[in-house]
Copies of this chain bind each other. A is one copy, B any other.
Amino acid sequence: MKTESEQQLSASLEDYLEAIFNLAGESEGARSKDIAEALSVARSSVTGALQALREKGLANYRPYGCITLTEPGRTLAAEVVRKHNILKSFFVNVLGVDADVAQQAACKAEHALGPEIIGRLLSFIKYVTESHRNGRDVAEEFRQFHKSRSGAKARKAQP
């Protein structure tokens, strides 16, 4: 038997959860308008999502009231945020991607990757960080490798 909070969430509801988590962290509870802005959706869409999250026992919400997450909601949201941060860190610190590209990619990929991959990715980031301390910086070495390759490619395409 599953409790209502254990069921699989859609990518969309995960986004709402994440937004509430981030906004509620800054103050006491999130505001509907700010959620709408953060996700670039209409305010009425937020109302619908909040009703869905309440039904799943993930958000405390009554019409015109302030919006907070329940304990299970906070747990789930924290997991989404954790995925997001691990992905972004990997994109930026290992692959050397621009922060804003990494941010957008993390937003999408966080819904697609399971704990197995995320766990390995985190481990990999730590491995790379450690390699830096050991004076054998994998990330830096890769950046050089990537630069020389893409440079060579560009020269080849346009001599």
Contacts and interface: CB of A to CB of B under 8 A. Distances in A.
A126 B97 CA distance: 17
The binding surface of chain A is classed by DSSP as helix
Interface size bracket, A side: 20 to 34
Contact of A116 (B97, B114, B126, B145): B97
Which of A112, A145, A149 has the largest count of B CB atoms less than 10 A from its CB? A112
Contact of A95 (B109, B124, B130, B141): B124
A98 to B, nearest CB: 8
A139 to B, nearest CB: 10
A154 interface: no
Contacts of A104: 114
Contacts of A149: 123, 126
Contacts of A95: 117, 120-121, 124
Contacts of A101: 114, 116-117
Contacts of A146: 120, 123-124, 127
